[in-house]
Amino acid sequence: MIRIGTRNSALALWQAQQVKNQLQALGVSAELIPVESEGDQNLRDPLYKMGIQGIFTKTLDAALLDQRIDIAVHSLKDVPTVLAEGIEIKAVLARGACADVLVYPPEHNTPPKKIIGTGSLRRKAQWLRKYPDYTVENLRGNVQKRLEKLAQSEWTGAIFAQAGIERLELSDLHYNKLDWMIPAPAQGAIGIASLSSNSAVLPFLDRLNSSETALCTEIERSFLNTLEGGCTAPIGAIAKIKGSKLFFQGGLFSLDGSQAKQIEEVVSLQDAKGLGIQSAKKILDQGGASLMDEIKSQLSK
């Protein structure tokens, strides 16, 4: 019996259920153990004010270390690039949609105001870079709570991950894909963490792992880690494999979107290892280091 730890939101439970289904298809018994995270409990404060590193993963980390669960299922974009000692990401499922989407509220009698809802500094910065005449309001909570707040608002819309909308089968929503917005590193990917010492689960997790998605997300997360952004600075990264080539796009943005350091690279798959680190170093050398210092100074106020 493999005990699967998960946050208890509808989306997190859906993702954990996919892992359970795949394990059972291998003939393995499994059960879900929901755990509420600190990030799910506090919906008032912006994430960057909450000491974001691991805000959605700490309670599951503790459950792993206490051996109350055998594996933890995460939205990989929420997992810090430096894990708690003794814990490793052991598998990454084949990636779903990775784009951001603008979800519109139900039609109102009055025209919407030029306001967008999001709790993400990355989404906020990129939106303001393209639409500087808009205001961005903090929007926190699971998908359902955010949709409820959007429905009660006079906003133009709110930004969500396409993967979450599709996984919850919210087909009645009206939304547009934001193809121009660089997604969060590892967005759309489901990661499975376990204790480094837990060799019993490895044979099964190896069979769930998508080597292609694991490579792409490792490049994206190493880009984030090298820029020292944690989960707070406005940083986007996406890697995609097409044939024998890997395409990478990354960006670092000022909080108001007025400044941007972006990079695009195309390399052969055999040269892909280390691409995230190399790309981040190029950005740092081209003014990204001073921009990061500026961002950190503003966030510390």
- Cβ atoms of 2 and 71 within 8 Å: the answer is yes
Q: Is 271 a catalytic residue?
A: no
Which of 40, 61, 70, 78 is catalytic? The answer is 78
Query: What one-letter code names the amino acid at 47?
Result: L
User: Among all residues, which ones are annotated catalytic?
Assistant: 78
